[in-house]
Structures are given as C-alpha cells and as structure tokens.
Amino acid sequence: MSSALVALIAPPRVPAPLISSALFLSESTEGLDEGAGFLDGLAPAETARLRAAGRTIVLAPGQSVFAQGEPHAGIFLIEEGRVRVFYTGPSGRQITLAYWTPGHFIGGPSLTGGGRHQWSGEAIEACRVTALSAATLRTLIRQMPDFALCLIEALEAKGRCYTAMAQMLGTRSVIERLAQILLNLGDLYGRTEGGTCVIERRITHDELAALIGSTRQWVTMMLKRFQADGIITIDKAAIRLVRADRLQAIVQSAR
C-alpha cells in the first residue's frame, strides 16, 4: 500500500488532552481530585436512580454549561469531558477557578435553587453532563439520605479547593504562582528524560494567565525570562522543566 493511500485512510492525530485531573491553583497536587468520586458511597441502584432523575446534556467545545448571572436551576454532574469554571470581572478580565473532570459536579454553591450563578462553566472539549434540577435535588435529598451525605462531602471538597486558590492569590506573588503551577503540571503530567521533567500536555499562555490571575503578556515575558535563565525550555511539543529546583526555590522564597 502506498504511503499516500495510508495517509488518506489513517485517522487524524488527536492532540494529547490538556488535563486528565481536576486542576486549580494550589500549593501542591495533593487533593486536586477530591470530590471526583463523591457518588461512590451510593449503591448501584441509587446511582442509577439518580442519573435517571436527571437530564442528559451533550455539549460541544466552547458551549456554556451555565453562565455568570443566570438564575440557579440546579447542578450538573460531569459524565464525560472537562469543564472550565471561571469568573469574569467588570473589566471583562477572566480568572479560571478550576478545570473540572468526570465525577465532579458543577453549578454550586447553591444546590436547591435561589440566587444567581457567581461564575460560569464552559465545556473545553466535547462533554456530557447530567443536569439535576433544584426540585429534583430536593426530592432526592429527602428520599436518599446517603445522597445528602455525598453532597455534603462534595461541598467540603469544593470548599477546600476555593480556599486553596484564595490562599495562593492572597499570599503568593504572581511569579511564585507561576512557578507553582508549572511544578504542579510537572507532578501531574511530567515524565523524566535525562534529568529533565517533560510536560507533553501543552497549556497556552492565556490559560496559564487565567489560572494564576495575571495577563498573557506578563506570562509570556516571564516564561521568556525563565528560558533565558535556563530554568525551562518550550517548543511546539512540550514544556521542559530543566531546573525544577530553581522553580522550587522561587516557590519557597516566601515560606
């Protein structure tokens, strides 16, 4: 078979996913995926009943799951794909609160209706979610005490997530936050190659900026400085942490 024919019938290359774990600004990767299995405490029949009570929504990349300012109508269980949750300030500038993955629920903190969404959720790839309305949640909570306990545990995990992010934003300089998120990405997705940590899953300057609460221009400038100092290298395929110890030193400078 000719190489030209092989090229025609070969499936297109699928880029490596950006994130396979939940990700948010944190001092470490410990606990990032807490809450992903919050329904594990239910019996299989209870889980099936829960999903049957919901409504399945399929979303294309870039579609909104819920929008800041909209009335709360319930929560969404992520079944497939990943959702970026973000806040938009009056100036239009955005900060990413978290990337959530299958097993997590989004759409809080209100569970049973009332008030408006304080931030937005957007699919960053093809997603499937189960929408549970406020009325359905109230019914399930009354009829399934174990589900109520699962929700409490999931809310506790969410609280720890946003506390970690608030602590980083409030006590860490922007350069420390950038160094920490690079180290976290290395811990999550890096592989060791000749003493260098290679992160093959790419993340854009815009995405880094939104995670650490900065601007794309500043992130670009600092990454260039890190490269000039021999701390990292960046190409089309990967980010390489050449001197992870230098990044760690930046992180530990305020400790």
The domain spans of the chain are 23-169, 174-252
Q: For the stretch 66-78, what's the b/e string if a residue is b when 16 or more beta carbons lie within 10 angstroms of its beta carbon?
A: beeeeebbbbbbb
Q: What is the pTM of this model?
A: 0.86
- Cα four-point dihedral sign 110, 160, 155, 94: positive
The 3-state DSSP class for residue 88 equals: strand
Residue 203: what pLDDT? 84
**At 185, is the secondary structure helix, strand, or coil?**
helix
CATH of segment(s) 23-169: 2.60.120.10
* CATH classification code of 174-252: 1.10.10.10
Cis status of the peptide bond prior to 61, with omega within 30 of 0 = no
Exposed / middle / buried, residue 169 (Cβ in 10 Å: 0-12, 13-18, 19+): middle
Query: Rounded CA gap, 68 and 97, in Å?
Result: 13
- The DSSP bridge pattern shows strands 196-199 and 232-234 to be unpaired
Cα separation, 173 vs 24, in Å, equals 16
Rounded Cα–Cα distance for residues 21 and 10 (Å): 29
Tell me what pLDDT residue 8 has. 40
CA distance 151 to 130: 15
Pair of tokens at residue 217:
């221009």
pLDDT at site 246 = 95
| Cβ 24 vs Cβ 165: under 8 Å | yes
Cα four-point dihedral sign 66, 68, 74, 75: positive
| Low-confidence spans in the chain with pLDDT less than 70 | 1-20, 254-255
pLDDT recorded at residue 255: 54
Contact 155, 112 (CB under 8 A): no
Whole-angstrom distance, CA of residue 238 vs CA of residue 255: 30
